[in-house]
Structure 1
Amino acid sequence: MANQIHPMAIVDPEAKLGDNNIIGPFCVIDKNVVIGDNNKLYNGVTLHFGTRLGNNNEIFPGASISTKPQDLKFVGEETTCEIGDNNSIRENVTISRGTASKGKTTVGNNNLLMENMHIGHDCEIGNGCIIGNSTKFAGEVVVDDNAIISACCLFHQFLHVGGYIMFQGGSRTSQDIPPYVIAGKEPIRYAGVNLIGLRRRGFSNETIEAIHDAYRIIYSKGVMKEGVAEARAKYPDSKEVEYICSFIENSKRGVIR
């Protein structure tokens, strides 16, 4: 089906649009923008230079995608902001495009990005994430699949956030958040395993118990490396425990305790 482009929208002739997209009034679509099929842009959405938008996305008023990075090292290099499929991007969300560091900012599939949240340059957001109102990610943050992050949270640059976490509203962190946990309190720290979230995602009781025991072992040690080795030895066949251990071993900013 043909695209429905409101007469008060501005679409650069160099932009490439798929089929059956709805472009509302006062939207601006820049050159070097590629859009797939079945996307709906409400009024006042801006897709800047470098946007790559997949299929079946819904973008609400005031959202600004592939904005110029808020990085003084950026000198105009040609970079992109790549959005997957089936995302809901709510009002006034801003997502910066990449810099020379990685060349692109990426958002996967089936994410809910709530009102007024920001994703900085070169971030990598996975699939199935829910990110709350006014939460802000600095540059080069990586968020794994199925993370739930509450409203008004702040994330330091270069952080890694594990999958299946629950992050308490109004919190901030300058350290990595390992997978499957609840991160909360002030200052931010480990507040247990995300039991409800894991059950909702279909994790078995046996798997949840292995995750819980692995964290008990890891956090009981003064030197986290010793706990990682013990947990891995106790659960050699658990991919979930291996994910936890590898995450901690590869952390560059340190993991919350």
Structure 2
Amino acid sequence: MTEEKDKIPAGLIHPTAIIDPRAEIGAGVKIGPYAVIGPNVKIGDGTEIMSHVVIDGWTTIGKDCRFFPSASVGSEPQDLKFNGEKSYVIIGDRSVFREFVTVSRATGEGEETRIGSDCLFQACTHIAHNCVVGNFVIMSNCAGLAGHVTIEDRVVIGGIAGIHQFVKVGRNAMIGGLAKVVQDVPPFVIADGQPARIIGLNSVGLSRAGIPENVRRELKKGFRILYRSGLNLGQAIAEMEQELDSSEAVEHLMRFLRNAERGICRGSKE
């Protein structure tokens, strides 16, 4: 047993685990049978690494995360442009990675794949290179993010849904199972279908997130302008600027729409 392993309290690390002596392992970290930890990995206090997990690359993991059997984090990206450059995976606190989850490090020297805190990634989900995932995100079984996807806070993604590269999904949005998302999904809405269309406001999610009723009314008014008025995106933004009472949520929605480089998903009645 290496000197570094000797620093970890007895019983927290299985004797079959392979831990590079250069890895930085925090206090109270549990590492299960046959797990492999690479030389440039940093693992925060209280995190649990279960059997057969592989954590490699320049990967930094926060406190109290859990990695279930056979998860793979920090491996080289599935990207033909990757040429062996130094790139990163950065993960916040208290996130859970179930069986066979894969998280790729970024393409591009010094670039990052970044995941926030308090997320749940169910079995077989995939987070590709250069993705940015916020806090309190849930990805259901077998959902996948292609490269350079941005997922804002409190998004829920249904099982086997696929998000196209460079797409952005706004906060508090919900993506239905099996959805094929090829354009940006605005905050606070529900998207479903192949290709995905916007089918309504995520009213239940907004209520659960504690957004006040008066703000929810303004968001509902904004949804009707955006998807029921027959206006194009530029016209809808101008109308919303005139008609909606300002709030943090409304301003976030407007900012998202102004910066939707791929265009936004169309409505179900368009």
- TM-score, normalised with respect to structure 2: 0.92
State the superposition RMSD in angstroms.
1.3
Give the corresponding residue for 1:103: 111
Shift of 1:240: 1.5
Shift of 1:18: 1.1
Structure 1 runs not aligned, ≥5 long: none
1:68-147 matches, within 5 Å, as 68-100=76-108, 103-147=111-155
Give the corresponding residue for 2:254: 245
1:29-44 matches, within 5 Å, as 29-44=37-52
Give the corresponding residue for 2:192: 184
Give the corresponding residue for 2:232: 223
Cα gap change, 1:236/1:205 in structure 2, threshold over 3 Å: closer, same or farther? closer
Give the corresponding residue for 2:73: 65
Give the corresponding residue for 1:171: 179
Matched AA of 2:99: E
Shift of 1:35: 1.0
Separation in 1, partners of 2:258, 2:230: 15
Q: Deviations over 1:41-61 (max 9, x none)?
A: 110100012111110001100
Separation in 2, partners of 1:125, 1:102: 18
Matched AA of 1:108: G
Matched AA of 1:131: M
Q: Give identity over the alignment, percent.
A: 37
Bigger mean CA offset, 95-104 vs 24-33 = 95-104
Task: Assess if the C-alpha contact under 8 Å between 1:102 and 1:122 holds in 2.
Answer: no
Shift of 1:101: 6.9
Separation in 2, partners of 1:186, 1:204: 32
Matched AA of 1:251: A
Bigger mean CA offset, 180-189 vs 32-41 = 180-189
Give the corresponding residue for 2:23: 15
Structure 2 runs not aligned, ≥5 long: 1-6
Shift of 1:187: 3.1
Separation in 1, partners of 2:224, 2:231: 12
Task: Assess if the C-alpha contact under 8 Å between 1:89 and 1:114 holds in 2.
Answer: yes
Q: Which runs of 4+ in 1 moved over 3 A?
A: none
Shift of 1:222: 3.1
Separation in 2, partners of 1:13, 1:116: 29
Q: What's the secondary structure of 1:229's corresponding residue?
A: helix
Shift of 1:2: 3.6
Separation in 1, partners of 2:220, 2:231: 18
